[in-house]
Amino acid sequence: MGNVSFQSVNIEDGFWKEQQKVNRETTVWAIYDRFKESGRFDALRCGWQEGMPNKPHIFWDSDVAKWLEGASYLMQKQPDARMEAIADNIADTVEAHQREDGYFNSYFLTMSPDEIFTHRMDHELYCAGHFVEAAIAYYHATGKRKLLDCMERYIALIDRVFRIEHSAAFDTPGHEEIEMALAKLYEETKNENYLKLLRFFVDHRGRSKKDSSAPFSEYHTQSHLPAVEQHTAEGHAVRALYWCCGIQDLAALEDDADLKETCLAIFDDIVTKKMYITGGVGSTYAGEAFTFPYDLPDDRAYSETCAGIALAMFCRRLWSMYKDGKYADIAEQAIYNTVLSGISLSGDEFFYENPLAVDVRQRKFYEKRPSFEQLRWPIIRRVKLFECSCCPPNLMRLIGAIGDYAYSVEGDTIYTHLYMDNTADIPVAGKTFRITQKTKYPLAGHICLTVGTEGSCKLALRIPAWCQNPEVKVNGEKIHGEICNGYFMIEKMWAEGDCIELILPMIVRVVEAAPECRDYCGKIAVCRGPMVYCVESEDCDGQTVVRDVRIHTDAPFTVKEEMICGRELPVIYAEGEVRRGTGNLYQNVPFERMPVSVRMIPYFTWANRGEDDMYVWLLG
Amino acid sequence: MGNVSFQSVNIEDGFWKEQQKVNRETTVWAIYDRFKESGRFDALRCGWQEGMPNKPHIFWDSDVAKWLEGASYLMQKQPDARMEAIADNIADTVEAHQREDGYFNSYFLTMSPDEIFTHRMDHELYCAGHFVEAAIAYYHATGKRKLLDCMERYIALIDRVFRIEHSAAFDTPGHEEIEMALAKLYEETKNENYLKLLRFFVDHRGRSKKDSSAPFSEYHTQSHLPAVEQHTAEGHAVRALYWCCGIQDLAALEDDADLKETCLAIFDDIVTKKMYITGGVGSTYAGEAFTFPYDLPDDRAYSETCAGIALAMFCRRLWSMYKDGKYADIAEQAIYNTVLSGISLSGDEFFYENPLAVDVRQRKFYEKRPSFEQLRWPIIRRVKLFECSCCPPNLMRLIGAIGDYAYSVEGDTIYTHLYMDNTADIPVAGKTFRITQKTKYPLAGHICLTVGTEGSCKLALRIPAWCQNPEVKVNGEKIHGEICNGYFMIEKMWAEGDCIELILPMIVRVVEAAPECRDYCGKIAVCRGPMVYCVESEDCDGQTVVRDVRIHTDAPFTVKEEMICGRELPVIYAEGEVRRGTGNLYQNVPFERMPVSVRMIPYFTWANRGEDDMYVWLLG
């Protein structure tokens, strides 16, 4: 029951096939090389000494772990000897340097072994959590338990020190992650201690007298209140959403009504008040945080790639419990916009922040004036590595395991969530049901599902909220069914070869933001399917003042398949107008307006053709 | 020839009478009290020691000097025994503590006497310049030369150390001011050394090998290039404009064509690319600086009060050389908007920064989250004192000497610039010509000038660029004359009692910003006469989302005289619409629009009724 793992979902064509090809051929190695040359892998050997290059960093174990987790997802689908050798080496290294008592954190073992479990804000348990997830993935991919055994020993130590002896200097991690790792480890092992430790961490956050979030406020780590008293998304966005994943896992495992309430309230707060149209969250770089309702500045948007991934992870947990299409709607809003914006089409360059507006002159100006260092703006060109390089391996593991987002099962019903070209073997009602989807989704709205297994079961096909007038045909005949919470329900005794066609018309949509969003008053965004579009200056008819483009929202939009850096993607042509400057800064008579034709590209493909002005929100 | 001093201009009624009353009765004493209790006056005695309260600050001499200058302007118009006693005491104190060699800077004498003339960025010569200006004003007001003598001795030292011996650790001051003080001192004394020192400072800036602007870039202090190679406004806005005043003074005194070019080019750069509609300059708090063309964010606007004053001072210098109404247009744009925004209607509270948009929720949020300290926003409530409190006494001296902005003379022509109710005795063509203006300007556009002296002279009446269809009547009869560079020319043999009526229709204007101003695309500002209007939330029909108000620019505007905190001022009623929220953050169908009536108040009166959202630029 619940979500269907990507292990059962094979992607053989379509949009995600292309993404996964780049992931396997380029991304995994690009990240490996950058991590290798920056010393992240070597740091595991705990041999760094003053004077040597590549001083270890508190995040680095998590970078390696996420790379290993992502690589394991690739290996689960297709063995790779070089990848496996690297993975084995990681496992061997961890085992070799793990302390007698089970402790393993390469940073603390190297830099300050006397200070373990004393620095709440130094990502110790966050790294542990990522290593647990990596160990499980590596085990599933290779059957090798070594790293998982190491991690079980490490978690046993953490359990003793934190939950049983209370001998750590803090009670809950300053950066959540271990919570969902513990849920996963419990699912894997059924060892009740992991569940108890998860419960301990969840219950103590916001209640512990030992915990401090200094130099940040307690909001930063969601420690301002106990979980059950929280109803709004606060603080560091990735922390907040990893924490939501962890407490939703616990709520599901223990059927905890109060925690469920918290998760639902926070989700609601995010999607009705604190989320960019791209599914990005965290409006500000200051604390990488959620701010206040409707505060969604486009040019200073933080909208971290990892936060978008975390929102999708949270949605997946919610849809598995609550059969409501809105969770998949939000997941794909995040994935097809903010998340994929985080990686170049070439697969080897990354954004950490994903702003919705760029003024190149502004960035150039601030780059060349040292006195302007105080003003922080998102970068406008993807880079190969960040000092804090959490996003690249997070993208790698998300893309490798994207099949996770396709299906869930409840009773005798198979739910489809994110449509993607795939063949899946889904355990339902005591048998394994094969479904094949052929589709170009999200580039087009036509999905063909073929049943590969005879038998009775219900199908619940998600109808995205953006879609008007969906059509469902079974074996060529249009059927009328109930749409229940965003899912079109079909119950049938299926024969092998039965074909369900789902047609989700992808009309170009003109979207307005709530009046309270001060940054978007008077503006519109153009969307098609789950994808948000943007304008880059070079596609704007030679007009450089993209911000001044007013879209004629009542004129027809034209969609064409065109190449963007080697990918065939639907672009949108819109008609609009811009004003002609006169040399006056201010003028009592309106500036003359001229027609302009604008080419819009999917937001996630921005900044692939060099630095350029870019805007999602345009005058409408 | 040239500008007519406020000493010859008596303001007996109208807008400025009210401002000057508040200045004399409230502002001068409010600032005195704050400066007194914060130790600024006592610091002059150079007696501070570690452990005592009120540690001296490098700016403080300039604060005291500007207070003295402003108080002297008041005393010139109306003696005041208490004020004079304080002024005398300042002079006595400076004399008592001035070093044998002429040096006087209370900060360096107290804190680090061994380091004089070694810290370019520590405002030493800036303070000296302000004291020179104060000494001249005090001398004019009281006939007492003591302080002026002190300052002449000090300048003689500076001249020797900097110009003659080159023995200072730097060549030019890190904050300009002394340049215009030297020009004024030269005009007062005709001592050529002052002119030579001014020339030295002007020529060495941007050329000196000793000068550094660290930790800022060389742009910050206009030291990135020699003056004659500069054509754009760069760096710290107050520095830049004080410097422009100084080089324009030198250009005028020495008829220096290259420096004139520089001043004209910088003025042009400012007014066509870098000035807020309020006449504010300096877009960013980072370095309090000019940024790049068309970068004029409204909510983060720095737009320092002092920079607005400095722009007006620069304009006055320019109109005295170039008979063009655009300089007075810009001066009044700055004075009636940014500058007066810097002081509360009550006269005792001040803004340093003058943003054009405020979102109260944003400020409240950032106040309560320590991790957000990195994000700097302008304050939204005027305060009684700043740590760096340059603006309050600058306002005081500007308001006290506002008559400076009324007239200039060239040959046999009297130019009128800023209209204000006044009686002036103007030396022209060998005699003193009396002119009386009766007007409510800038609140209304009707100006009645009465000639009080028989004789022949030309009158050049400025027709503001915002004005369409001006009318001029002489003794009741409409006359048609030439408008030459923004001045309506009348030549006549005047009889005593001749009456010139100037009617400048104050139509409500809808102003657009250039397409390149990304922050104002799709927006309009509402202006009347020289005043820019704004909307505060409380005047917005109970609608809280002021940013979403769309003004119906083709519907009629209604102007009414209404009370704002005890001042009768013209307010504007506009019709518009706002959208009704639905609870959705994003929506594929337009939000419903509802009519709204909006009351707009002069921008300079904002934030006098408590903290509130405020916007100048609205959807149009």
- Average pLDDT for B455-461: 95
Task: Note the pLDDT tens digit of each residue in A186-207.
Answer: 999 999 999 999 999 999 999 9
How many whole angstroms separate alpha carbon A287 and alpha carbon B373? 10
Mean pLDDT of chain A: 96
Decide if A286 and B374 are in contact by the 8 Å CB cutoff: yes
Structure tokens at A77: 């689908």
Residue with tokens 């130099």: A215
Distance of CA A280 to the CA centre of its chain: 9
- Number of residues that make up chain B: 620
Phi and psi at residue A419, in whole multiples of 5°? -75, 135
Q: Is the pLDDT of residue B159 over 60?
A: yes
Q: DSSP for A424-470?
A: EEEEETTEEEEEEEEE-TTSS-EEEEEE-S-EEEEEEEE--TT-SS-
Cα–Cα nearest to B396, from B75, B58, B123? B75
Q: Tell whether the torsion through CA atoms of A240, A325, A23 and A539 is positive or negative.
A: negative
Q: How far apart are CA A182 and CA A201, in angstroms?
A: 10
Across residues A445-454, what is the average pLDDT? 96
Contact by Cβ (8 Å): B80, B103: no
Alpha-carbon distance A489 to nearest alpha carbon in chain B (angstroms): 25
User: pLDDT higher for A367 or A6?
Assistant: A6
Grade residue A541 by pLDDT with cuts at 50, 70 and 90. confident
The whole-number pLDDT of residue A371 equals: 61
pLDDT reported for residue B1: 62
Does the pLDDT at position B17 exceed 80?
yes
Q: What is the DSSP letter of A5?
A: P
Q: Does B120 touch chain A (CB under 8 A)?
A: no
Nearest to B8 by CA among B80, B76, B81: B76
Q: With an 8 Å Cβ cutoff, are A286 and B514 in contact?
A: no
Distances (CA, A) of B6 to B78, B423, B462, B471, B473: 13, 11, 18, 27, 27
- Contact of A590 with chain B, judged by CB distance below 8 Å, is answered with yes
B275: which chain A residues are within 8 Å (Cβ-Cβ)? Answer: 585
Give the C-alpha separation, B423 to B405, whole Å: 13
Residues B467 and B447: their CA atoms lie apart, in Å, by 14
Tens digit of each residue's pLDDT (9 = 90 or more) over A270-291: 999 999 999 999 999 989 999 9
Burial zone of B146 (CB within 10 Å; 0-12 exposed, 13-18 middle, 19+ buried): middle
Q: Do B582 and A514 touch (CB under 8 A)?
A: yes
Is residue B429 pLDDT above 90, yes or no? no
In angstroms, the CA B61 to CA B39 distance is 11
- In chain A, positions 347-376, which contact chain B (CB-CB < 8 Å)? 359, 361-362, 365, 369-376
Which chain A residue's Cα is nearest to B221?
A: A371
Q: What is the mean pLDDT of residues A481-487?
A: 94
Which whole number is the average pLDDT over A240-255?
98
Mean pLDDT of B608-619: 96
Q: How far apart are CA B106 and CA A45, in angstroms?
A: 60
Q: Determine, for residues B219 and A513 on separate chains, whether the beta-carbon distance falls below 8 Å.
A: no
For the ranges A230-234, A373-377, B133-137, B518-522, which has the lowest average pLDDT?
Answer: A373-377
CB contact under 8 A, B359 and A215: no
Distance between A461 CA and the closest CA of chain B, angstroms: 22
Distance in Å, alpha carbon of B276 to nearest chain A alpha carbon: 9
Nearest CB to A217; choose among B286, B359, B371: B371
Q: Given a cut of 90, is residue B541 above it in pLDDT? A: no
For residue A585, list chain B residues with Cβ-Cβ distance below 8 A: 271-273, 275, 294, 513-514, 517
pLDDT at A171 over 90: yes
Q: What is the pLDDT of residue A374?
A: 64
Contact between A521 and B545 using a beta-carbon 8 Å cutoff: yes
Mean pLDDT of A560-577: 96
Chain A residues whose CB is inside 8 A of the B355 CB are: none
Is residue A102's pLDDT more than 80?
yes
Interacting residues of B79 by C-beta distance below 8 A, sequence separation 6+: none
- Find the mean pLDDT for residues A504-515: 98
A536 by DSSP, 3-state: which?
Answer: strand
Rounded distance between C-alpha atoms, residue B305 and residue B309, angstroms: 6
| A275 contact residues in B (CB cutoff 8 A) | 585
Say whether pLDDT at B371 is over 70. no
Residue A1 has a pLDDT of: 62
Contact, B543 vs B549, CB < 8 A? yes
Chain A closest-CA separation from residue B602 CA (Å): 18
Cβ–Cβ below 8 Å for B277 and A586: yes
Element (H, E) at B245: helix B237-254
pTM of this prediction? 0.95
Record: contact B513-A361, CB cut-off 8 A: no
Mutate to test the interface with B, among A333, A359, A371, A511 (most CBs of B within 10 A): A371
Give the mean pLDDT of B127-140: 98
| E-assigned strand segments in B104-259 | none
Task: Give the number of C-alpha atoms closer than 13 A to the C-alpha of residue A464, restricted to the C-beta side.
Answer: 27
Report yes or no: A582 at the B interface, CB cutoff 8 Å.
yes
CB atoms A361 and B510 under 8 Å: no
From chain A residues 456-495, the ones with a CB under 8 A of any chain B CB are 466
Say if residues B335 and B314 touch (Cβ distance below 8 Å).
Answer: no
pLDDT value of position B430: 87
Long-range contacts of A119-122 (CB under 8 A, 24+ apart): A119/A169, A119/A174, A120/A169, A120/A170, A120/A172, A120/A173, A120/A174, A120/A211, A120/A212, A120/A213, A121/A174, A121/A175, A121/A213, A121/A214, A121/A216, A121/A221, A122/A58, A122/A174
Token pair listed for B502: 């100037």
pLDDT, residue B367, reads: 80
Helix (H, G, I), strand (E, B) or coil at B426: strand
Min distance A348 CA to chain B CA atoms (Å): 31
Report residue B372's pLDDT band, with 50, 70 and 90 as the boundaries: low
Q: Is the pLDDT of residue A233 over 70?
A: yes
Instruction: Work out the mean pLDDT of chain B and round it to a whole number.
Output: 96
pLDDT tens per residue, range B21-32: 999 999 999 999
At residue B373, the pLDDT reads 56
The amino acid sitting at A489 is: M
Inter-chain CB proximity B548 and A284 less than 8 Å: no
pLDDT band with cut points at 50, 70 and 90 for residue A455: very high
Contact map slice: A 494-513 vs B, CB within 8 A: 509-513
Continuous H helices in B255-355 = 257-269, 305-321, 325-333, 340-341
CB atoms near residue A443 (< 10 Å):
19
Q: Which two tokens stand for residue B395?
A: 């306002």
In this prediction, residue A218 carries a pLDDT of 95
Helix (H) or strand (E) holding A69: helix A60-77
Q: Which two tokens stand for residue A457?
A: 């079961």
Q: Name every chain A residue with its beta carbon within 8 A of the beta carbon of B522.
A: 522-523, 548, 550, 619
Tokens of B238: 């107050």
> Which pLDDT value is given to residue A536?
96
Task: Inform me whether the C-beta atom of residue A277 falls under 8 Å from chain B C-beta atoms.
Answer: yes
Of A217, A272, A522, the CB nearest to B619: A522
Q: Both tokens of residue B100?
A: 């044998």
Question: Is B619 at the interface with chain A, CB within 8 A?
Answer: yes
> What pLDDT score was predicted for residue A377?
87
Q: What is the pLDDT of residues B259-273, one digit of tens each?
A: 999 999 999 999 999
**B-contacting residues of A 283-342, CB under 8 Å?**
284-287, 289, 291-295
Answer whether A356's CB lies under 8 Å from A303's CB. Answer: yes
pLDDT digit string, tens, across residues B291-348: 999 999 999 999 999 999 999 999 999 999 999 999 999 999 999 999 999 999 999 9
The Cα B615–Cα B600 span in angstroms is: 10
Strand ranges (E), B443-536: 446-451, 455-462, 471-474, 477-479, 483-484, 487-494, 499-503, 508-513, 523-528, 531-536
* pLDDT of amino acid A117: 98
Which ranges in B159-223 belong to alpha helices (H)?
Answer: 178-189, 192-204
SS (H, E, C) A151-210: HHHHHHHHHHHHHHCCCCCCCCCCCCCHHHHHHHHHHHHCCHHHHHHHHHHHHHCCCCCC
Task: Using CB atoms, pick whichever of B510, B515, B580 lies closest to residue A591.
Answer: B515
pLDDT over threshold 70, residue B250: yes
Which range (A355-359, A537-541, B526-530) has the least confidence? A537-541
* Residue A367's pLDDT band (cuts 50, 70, 90): confident
Q: How confident is the model at residue B368 (pLDDT cuts 50, 70, 90)?
A: confident
**Kind of pairing, strands B413-416 and B455-462?**
parallel
CA distance A519 to chain B (A): 8
- ipTM strictly over 0.90? yes
What percent of chain B is modeled with pLDDT above 70? 99
Interface touch B586/A375, C-beta < 8 Å:
no
Residue B119: is it exposed, middle or buried by C-beta count within 10 angstroms (0-12/13-18/19+)? middle
Whole-number pLDDT of residue A370? 65
Reply yes or no on whether the pLDDT at A214 is more than 70: yes
| CA–CA gap between residue A393 and residue A90 (Å, rounded) | 16
Interface test with A, best of B518, B528, B616 (most A CBs within 10 A): B518
pLDDT given for residue A376 in this prediction: 81
Which region holds residue A522: left if phi is over 0, alpha if psi is between -120 and 50, else beta? Answer: left
